[in-house]
Amino acid sequence: MPDTVLWLRRDLRLADHPALHAAADAADGGRVLPLFVLDPALWGPAGAPRRAWLLRSLHALSASMDGALVVREGDPATVVPAVADELGAHSVHVSADSGPYGRARDERTQEALGSRPLARTGTPYVLGPGTVTKADGTPYRVFTPFFRAWRERGGPGPAGPPPAGLRWARTVESAGLPDEPDLAGVELPDVGEQAALERWARFADDRLADYGSARDRPDLGGTSGLSAHLKYGEIHPRTLLADLGRHSGAGADVFRSELAWRDFYADVLWHHPASAREYLRPAYARMRYDEPAEAFDAWREGRTGFPFVDAGMRQLRETGWMHNRLRMVVASFLVKDLHVEWQHGARHFMRWLRDGDLASNQHGWQWAAGSGTDAAPYFRVFNPVSQGVKFDADGGYVRRWVPELAHLAGAAAHQPWEQPDGYDHGYPQRVVDHAAERLDALERFQQIRG
């Protein structure tokens, strides 16, 4: 019987797994070997939170497979064919990878496999990147029309539970998983497919109805917390989208649009792979920027003197995650108050975020920098004080992450410079004058407009 290999990447689950079904169908009663390759090209740049999450997710997945998961380390173009040879596999099955590196890696692997197919089935997204286009076949550059087309097109439903009668191959030796890195105090939530399903169930029952209004409030914990689970494919977005059908109201509608944003950024990266490192709008590369210096270090360490910014940066360092409202605020502050290019901030995020996703991270940063898909680009400059007062009105979020301001009640925590005892516990002075830097940012923008 024709044994097959299931090469896992961003699909660390058993349910709603089209590539698993394809591997089992191709085996036709034979065995499926689940394989994960620790690729140095991806493992090397990953920060400790992502490494730890991945390792815990793989342990959980292996347990759900009764220990059948095979782990190897090295270049997949070498490792995958070698494992297929060891098993005598007739085919290798994967979920399609739409990222720039992943697409090239898969082509190299297919070439090394020779006549054995690398069968790509399914996608980490609701709709595969590159499949939602305008009537003339060109890609969308703005989210709203993309969302309309995405919603109208729909997509296949969940793939369902694992295939009946699935047999795991157990004849190939695993190299095992490395030890976890030192997390330096970062605390991660529960990891794995079961944890993802339970988190979604709690959110859908308890907080989805208020998601439309609560998601922008970092003090309320109104988000789903599913971003890292989606990043590693512990739950598929089609599972979430299908389950949203049981719910109505603004919360469900907004959550559906957030799933579409994830697809949108992946689609932009598919059509513009260079935008992972370069400006989507090339004119912004000509703008005057400042080299990262002491203020950049203060930004990274959460000591800029702007409480809302510092709270977000400290949340990142302590949890490997940051509320999305804060991601926009701290990104705007770096680019438009400190005049540092977005790539520096994006790299810092990818080092510390447990949900660090290339498409979402890079294009979220380009959106904030004005060089991406934002329809109202550079002249949008977030005010770090008014943003805090609006979305953390009582100051609870700031007091949680900036203990030097815990003595300031209510909204006073956002403006310690206005309080006689605001700096009594060691909170730093502001590194810049926001009003002045905003005008400087707008002047720099006018210079590239000619």
Query: Could you write out the DSSP letters of every residue in 200-253?
Result: HHHHHHHTGGGHHHHTT-TTTT-S---HHHHHTTSS-HHHHHHHHTT--SHHHH
Q: Using alpha carbons, select from 391, 403, 432 the residue that is nearest to residue 305.
A: 432
Q: Rounded to whole angstroms, how far apart are CA atoms 321 and 225? A: 9
User: Residue 380: what pLDDT?
Assistant: 86
Angle between helices 250-271 and 237-244 (to 10 degrees): 150
Determine which helix (DSSP H) or strand (DSSP E) holds 448, and give its type and residue range.
helix 434-448
Alpha-carbon distance of 206 to 209, in angstroms, equals 8
DSSP, collapsed to helix, strand or coil, labels residue 37 as strand
Q: Residue 393 pLDDT > 70, yes or no? A: yes
pLDDT at 63 over 90: yes
Write the DSSP symbol of residue 431. S
Q: Answer yes or no: are the C-beta atoms of 350 and 45 closer than 8 Å.
A: yes
pLDDT score for 374: 75
pLDDT of residue 376: 66
Could you tell me the domains of the chain?
4-122 (3.40.50.620), 124-158+192-271 (1.25.40.80), 282-448 (1.10.579.10)
pLDDT in the model for residue 307: 98
Q: What is the signed CA dihedral for 217, 338, 403, 364, rounded to 10 degrees?
A: 30
Q: Which two tokens stand for residue 244?
A: 């949203």
Q: What is the pLDDT of residues 166-209, one digit of tens each?
A: 999 999 999 999 999 999 999 999 999 999 999 999 999 999 99
261-to-11, 70, 119, 266, 268 alpha-carbon distances in Å:
19, 34, 27, 9, 11
Amino acid at 394: D
Using 50, 70 and 90 to split pLDDT, how confident is the model at 221?
confident
Over residues 63-79, the mean pLDDT reads 98
pLDDT, tens digit (0-9, with 9 covering 90-100), for 411-421? 999 999 999 99
Kindly report the CA angle at 25 between 19 and 30, in degrees rounded to 5? 115
Confidence of residue 450 (pLDDT cuts 50, 70, 90): low
